[in-house]
Structure 1
C-alpha cells in the first residue's frame, strides 16, 4: 500500500474513534490562542497586511472570511491571509520535537474549506485536531535535529502543505480516494526553503506557513472537482521524501508516522514569548540571571549554543544589530540583551521601537558566543554564563513545554488588550466554549480595508 493510502487510513481511523477528551480540550485551547494572536496582529504585524494586500491583487470578493476583517477572499487566499495573521508575530504554537507550528496552518485551512461550500464533513475541532496530529507525526517520523537535510527546510511550510490539504479535504467531506489525490496535489506545490529564516534583512519569514495553508486548500478544492494525482507521490522514486529529504522513510520511521495509539499533538506547546522558539530557553536564563546582577556589574555574557542555535547568532554583528523586527525575533544574542535590559519580553516592548534602543545596543557589546552543546532533537538548552566584577554565574535552562490554561488565558487577554479590543474575558469564554466554523462572524472587526 502506498504511503498516501496508509496516511488516509490512519487519519480515518482517528476520525472514526473521535478525539480523546484531553486532545479535544487541547485543540480548543490552541485554536483560541491562535485567534487571539491573529487579532493582535492587526496592531503589531504590518507585514501581514502587506502580504494579504499582495496576494489579493486583482481579486474582488470570495467566500473566505479573514479573521478580524469584513474582507472576503477566494478560499485559498483566505487561508493564506489567516495563517499570515496567526504567524506574523512569531507567537504561535509549536511542537518542539517535530519543529512545527501546526495550528496556524490547519485552522486557516479548515475555515477556508468550510467557507467554500455548505457541506462540512466534520466539525472544526476534529478537523484541526486531525490536521495537527498529521503535521506533528511528520516531524516525529524524521526526528529533525537542525542538521542535515531537514535543516534546509521550514518544516511547518514543507509539511504544512500535506497537513493543510488533509484538513481541508476532511472539511469538504472528500472520500478516501479523493484524500489520496489531495496529498498528491499538495506534493506538487510543496516548498519551504529556510534561507528567509537564517538570512537577515527581510520580512519573509513572518509569513512562510501561509503558503502551505494556501496550497493545501487549493489541493483539496482541485481534488473535490475530480483532479487526480498518483498515490505514489509521497514514497515513489521521485516522491516527496526522496526529493526533499534525500530518502524515503525507513520502516521504523513509517511505523512511527502511522502509529495511531498515541497523540504527538499532545506535546505541542503554546508560546509565552513572541519570538523564535529557539530563543526561549536563552530568554528564560537571561531573565533568571538578571535578578542576580546589577547591569553595571556585568562584564561579559557568554551564550553557549549548538549548531542550530548558532545559526541564530551569525553573522554576530548583524544579529546584535537587527534592522527588522523579524530579524530581532530570530536573533538569540539580541533577545538575550533585550531580556537583561527590560526584564520581560512581550508584544508591548518587543517592537519596531526597540530596534533603536541605545541601552540594548550598549549591552550587546558584552555578548560572546561559544559552541557548548551537541545538536539533539528538540530545542537547545538556554546556556548563559555571566562574568561580572564579583564573580561568574552560569544558568542552563531547559525549555518548559507545558503551558497551563491560566497562562494561555492571560496571554489571550494580553493579546486582546494589545489589539485594543474590549471585553477580552468575554471573548475567551465565547471561544473556549462555542468554537464552530462561523465564529469569525462573532469576532470584532478591526479593519475592513485589508
Structure 2
C-alpha cells in the first residue's frame, strides 16, 4: 500500500473514532486564536493586504469570505488570503517539535471549501483537528533539527499543501480514492524554500504558508472533478520525501506518521509574543534579567545559541538594525534588546516605529553571539548573560508547549481591541461555545 493510501486510512480511523474531548477543546482554542490574529492583521499587517490585492488582480467575486472583510474570492484565493492574514503578524500557533504552524493553513482551507458548498460533509472542528494532526505528524516523522535537509524548507508550507488538501477534502466529502488523488495533485505544487526566512531585507516570510493552503484547496477541488494523480506521490521513485529530503521514510518514521493512538497536535503552542518562535525563550530570559539591571547599565549581552538559532543572529549587523518589521521579528538580537528596553512585546509596541528606536538600537550594539548549545528537536534554551560594571548574571529559560485558556482569552481580547472590534468578550463567548462554519461567516468587518 502506498504511503498516500496509508495516510488516508489513518485519517479515516481518527475520523471514525472522533476527536477526544480534550483535543476538540484545544482545536477550538486554536481556531479562536487564529481568527483573532486574522482580524488584527486586517487592521495592522499591510503586507497581508498587499499580497491579497496582488493575488486578486483580475478576480471579481467568489464564494470565499476573507476574514475581517466584505470581499469574496474564489476558494483557492480565499484560502491564500486567510492564511496570509493568520501568519502575517508572526503570532500564529506552532508545534515546536514539528516546527510547523498548523491552524493558519487548515482553518483557511476548511473555510474556503465550506464556503463553496451548500452543506459541509465534516464539521469545522473535526476537519481542522484532523488536518492539524496530519501536519504535526509529518514534522514528527522527520524530526527536524534545523540543520541538514530539513533546514532548507519552511515545513509549514511544504507539508502545508498536504494538510490543506486533506482538510479541504474532508469538508468537501471526498472519498478515499479522491483524497489519494488530491494528495498527488498537492505534491505537484509543493514548495517552500526557506531563504525568505534566512535572508534579510524582504517581507516575503510573512505570507509563505498562504501558498500551501491555496494549493491544497485547489488540489481537493481538482480531485473532486475527477482529475487523478499517482498514489506513489510521497514514496515513489521521484516522490516527495526522496526529492525534498534525500530519502524515503524508514519503517520507524512511517509508524510515527501513521500512529493513530496519540495526538501530536496536543504539543502545539499558542504564541504569547508576535515574533518568530525561536526568539521566545530569549525574550523570556531578557524579561527576567531586566528585573536586575537597567538597560543603560549593560556593558554587554551575550546570547548563547545553537546552530539553527544562530541563523537568526547573522549577519549580526543586519539582525541588530533590521530594515523591515518582518526582519525585526525574525532577529533574536533585536528581540532581546527590544524586550530588555520595553519590558513587554505586543502588537501595540512592536510596530514599524520600533525599527528606529534608538534605545533598542544602542543596546543591540552591545550584543555578542556565542554558540553554546547543540541542535536538538524543538527550540533552544533562552541562554542570556548580562555583563555590567557591577557584576554578571546569566539566565537560562526553557519553553514548554503552552495553551492556557486564560492567556488565550486575554490574547484574543487584545487582538480584537487592536482591530477595534467592539465587544470582544461577546465574540469570544460566541465562537468558543458555538464554533461552526456559519458563525465564522458572521465575523466583524474591520475598518481601516
Distance 1:419 1:33 in 2: 14
Distance 1:242 1:125 in 2: 33
Q: Give the aligned partner of residue 187 of structure 2.
A: 187
Q: Give the aligned partner of residue 8 of structure 1.
A: 8
Counterpart secondary structure, 1:392: strand
1:43 CA drift (Å):
2.0
1:443 CA drift (Å):
1.1
Distance 1:417 1:296 in 2: 33
Q: Give the aligned partner of residue 278 of structure 2.
A: 278
Q: Give the aligned partner of residue 299 of structure 2.
A: 299
Q: Give the aligned partner of residue 249 of structure 1.
A: 249
Query: Bigger CA drift: 433-442 or 12-21?
Result: 433-442
1:291 CA drift (Å):
0.4
Q: Give the aligned partner of residue 51 of structure 1.
A: 51
Query: Bigger CA drift: 87-96 or 415-424?
Result: 415-424
* 1:68–1:440 Cα contact (<8 Å) kept: no
1:365 CA drift (Å):
1.0
Aligned pairs for 1:106-121 (under 5 A) are 106-121=106-121
* 1:36–1:415 Cα contact (<8 Å) kept: yes
1:354 CA drift (Å):
0.6
Distance 1:441 1:24 in 2: 20
Distance 1:233 1:203 in 2: 32
Structure 2: 5+ residue runs without aligned partners? none
Distance 2:41 2:207 in 1: 12
Counterpart secondary structure, 1:442: coil
Q: Give the aligned partner of residue 103 of structure 2.
A: 103
Q: Give the aligned partner of residue 369 of structure 1.
A: 369
Distance 2:118 2:365 in 1: 59
Distance 1:444 1:432 in 2: 16
Aligned pairs for 1:43-192 (under 5 A) are 43-192=43-192
- Give a deviation string over 1:138-179, Cα, whole Å, max 9, x none: 000000000000000000000000000000000000000000
Distance 1:119 1:443, change over 3 A: closer
1:18 CA drift (Å):
0.2
Counterpart secondary structure, 2:369: strand
Q: Give the aligned partner of residue 211 of structure 1.
A: 211
- Give a deviation string over 1:262-301, Cα, whole Å, max 9, x none: 0000110000000000000000000000001122221100
Counterpart secondary structure, 2:384: strand
* 1:105–1:164 Cα contact (<8 Å) kept: yes
- Give a deviation string over 1:113-149, Cα, whole Å, max 9, x none: 0011224111000000000000000000000000000
* 1:86–1:104 Cα contact (<8 Å) kept: yes
* 1:341–1:359 Cα contact (<8 Å) kept: yes
- Give a deviation string over 1:293-352, Cα, whole Å, max 9, x none: 122221100000000000000000000000100000000000000011100000000000
Distance 1:433 1:119 in 2: 21
Query: Bigger CA drift: 360-369 or 123-132?
Result: 360-369
Distance 2:133 2:27 in 1: 10
Distance 2:20 2:439 in 1: 23
* 1:114–1:172 Cα contact (<8 Å) kept: yes
- Give a deviation string over 1:195-245, Cα, whole Å, max 9, x none: 000100000000000000000000000000000001000000000100111
* 2:161–2:215 Cα contact (<8 Å) kept: yes
* 1:303–1:385 Cα contact (<8 Å) kept: yes
Q: Structure 1 runs of 4+ off > 3 angstroms?
A: none
Q: Give the aligned partner of residue 388 of structure 1.
A: 388
Q: Give the aligned partner of residue 402 of structure 1.
A: 402
Counterpart secondary structure, 1:383: strand
* 1:65–1:440 Cα contact (<8 Å) kept: no
Alignment size in residue pairs: 448
- Give a deviation string over 1:71-92, Cα, whole Å, max 9, x none: 0000000000000000000000
* 1:387–1:393 Cα contact (<8 Å) kept: yes
Distance 1:145 1:439 in 2: 39
* 1:198–1:312 Cα contact (<8 Å) kept: yes
* 1:119–1:173 Cα contact (<8 Å) kept: no
Distance 2:174 2:59 in 1: 27
Distance 2:205 2:33 in 1: 21
* 1:63–1:72 Cα contact (<8 Å) kept: yes
How well do the aligned residues superpose, as a CA RMSD in angstroms?
Answer: 0.8
1:13 CA drift (Å):
0.2
Q: When the two structures are superposed, what TM-score results if normalisation uses the length of structure 2?
A: 0.99
* 1:95–1:268 Cα contact (<8 Å) kept: yes
Q: Give the aligned partner of residue 20 of structure 1.
A: 20
* 2:348–2:418 Cα contact (<8 Å) kept: yes
Q: When the two structures are superposed, what TM-score results if normalisation uses the length of structure 1?
A: 0.99
Counterpart secondary structure, 2:302: strand
